[in-house]
Structure 1
Amino acid sequence: MLRFIVLALVLLNGLYFAWSQGLLRAYGFAPAQQTEPQRLGQQIRPDAVRLLTAQEPSQSEAPRATGKPTACLQAGLFDATQSAQLRRTLAVTLPAGSWSLEETLEPARWIVYMGKYANAEDLAKKRAQLASLNLKFEPLTNPALGLGLSLGGFSTQTAATAALDAFSRRGVRTARVVQEREEVSGTLLRLPAADEALRTRLDELKPVMAGKAWSPCR
């Protein structure tokens, strides 16, 4: 019995080998041919295949432009009268949905202040002294405080006083804490996605901007 099983396995292996090698093709038993003619027949759109040069792969992998760059811009604050006039002008000047007017509460601001100085020459001397101490200063937003310098703005008087103490330890002797502005409410104009085309039209708004300058959104 065992001899019969061994002979059967040998016979089956021999038949499989002959079939896989195509030796039985004349009798209609053989696997599908995988030579080039048959593979060409299975290709999809072979006419679209072409060889690339050494430079072309990097060019094809280059990122495509996603569109014109945009930036978020804002200006303000505007009072009720200014806002009403601005809204009417925006409605006929800029595309709908490209702008918004938002009611905003701007907190009070304290600064570490130096000044006022008698003239521009004295102001320039103080700037040079601060530069020698590696101290930076900020532009003033309150015209009543010019000719003067701000060493930094703070949302609370306590924070400004702490900063003044730190400046004193670095050699600043004539600075003091002043309130640059009180808490104020108003309307903020925002352009959330201003592209180049929209920015070229901003000059048309100048007559109703009340002297407010554009700045990046925060």
Structure 2
Amino acid sequence: MLRWVIWLLVLANAGYFAWSQGYLDTLGLKPAEQREPERLTQQVKPEVLRLLNGPRAEPTPQPPASPVAATVAAAPEPVPAPTPTPPEPAPVAAPPVDNGTRACWQAGGFTEAQAELLRAELALLGLPASGFSFTEVRSGGRWIVYMGRYDNQQQLDRKKDELRALGVTYREITAVGLAPGLALGTFSSEAAAQQARQQTERDGIRTAKVAQERAESVSTNLRLPSITESQRAAIDALGDAMAGKRLQRCT
């Protein structure tokens, strides 16, 4: 019996050898080919094996996001709306320049206070500081050989007739405190007036005397070297600032 089992094993091994080596291909007993790619696909992948009860691997830390990525991921800040630029103001048109005929004009006899008021008014009219000037003028006292003061016009007329008969020249006085009266001569000093009075006495006029017609004074003159006719009219119309005076052509 044992001999039959041995012979069966020998025949089985010989058959398997013949089949695996392709000796039985003609009989349709061909073994399935195991090519390399197919074999590799059927292999067990050890890298994907995981022990059920084994230790768990710590999760691999993710690399920190780069600053550029963080900046991109951050929500963009709202962009402020552009502030509208206000329109530029339109240029103011310059006042028309008066190019009329220009001339030199002047006025005199202003007090210091009147001159200061007039200076301010001229600036308000638009005249530049170089367009006008004020000059201080000192006037000396004025002395006369005087006859008067008469009580009425009849006495004055009678005295005029007497002087004409003697060939003496005279002028009528209108100054306050001296009118009505007559001046036989006008002088810049009291001494000169006294000498003239002595001469009139020698001529037979014994009632004449020396009087001061005007005291020494200081006044201010205005000079406008080059103004137009319209500017002259505006200055003459200043009223109180001109103190009742009017411009005259320069001499």
CA distance in 1, matches of 2:107, 2:191: 29
Unaligned runs of 5+ in 1: 1-67
TM-score under structure 1 length normalisation: 0.52
CA distance in 2, matches of 1:105, 1:189: 14
In the TM superposition, what whole-angstrom CA distance separates every residue of 1:167-207 from its partner, at most 9, and x where no partner exists?
22223221100122222223123466899888777752554
Alignment of 1:157 onto 2:190: yes
Q: 2:174, 2:181 within 8 Å by CA — same for their partners in 1?
A: no
Q: 1:141, 1:180 within 8 Å by CA — same for their partners in 2?
A: no
* Structure 1 counterpart of 2:40: none
SS in 2 for 1:145: coil
Alignment of 1:116 onto 2:139: no
* RMSD across aligned positions (CA): 3.8
Shift of 1:128: 2.7
CA distance in 1, matches of 2:107, 2:127: 16
* Structure 1 counterpart of 2:181: 148
* Structure 2 counterpart of 1:14: none
CA distance in 1, matches of 2:222, 2:229: 18
1:129 paired residue among 156, 162, 181: 162
Highest RCO, 1 vs 2 (Cα 8 Å, sep ≥ 6):
1
Distance 1:93 1:111, change over 3 A: farther
Alignment of 1:173 onto 2:196: no
Distance 1:209 1:138, change over 3 A: farther
The 10-residue stretch of structure 1 (145-154 or 88-97) with the greater mean CA deviation from structure 2 = 88-97
CA distance in 2, matches of 1:130, 1:194: 49
* Structure 2 counterpart of 1:138: 171
TM-score under structure 2 length normalisation: 0.46
SS in 1 for 2:197: helix
CA distance in 1, matches of 2:226, 2:162: 42
Unaligned runs of 5+ in 2: 1-100
In the TM superposition, what whole-angstrom CA distance separates every residue of 1:135-192 from its partner, at most 9, and x where no partner exists?
3323546322111122222111110011111222223221100122222223123466
Alignment of 1:102 onto 2:135: yes
CA distance in 1, matches of 2:185, 2:250: 20
Number of residue pairs matched by the alignment: 150
2:112 paired residue among 80, 84, 106: 80
Q: 1:94, 1:198 within 8 Å by CA — same for their partners in 2?
A: no
* Structure 2 counterpart of 1:182: 215
AA matched with 1:80: E
* Structure 2 counterpart of 1:48: none
Which structure shows the bigger proportion of residues in helix conformation?
1
**Percent of pairs with identical residues:** 38
Structure 1 runs (4+) deviating above 6 angstroms are 93-98, 192-202, 213-218
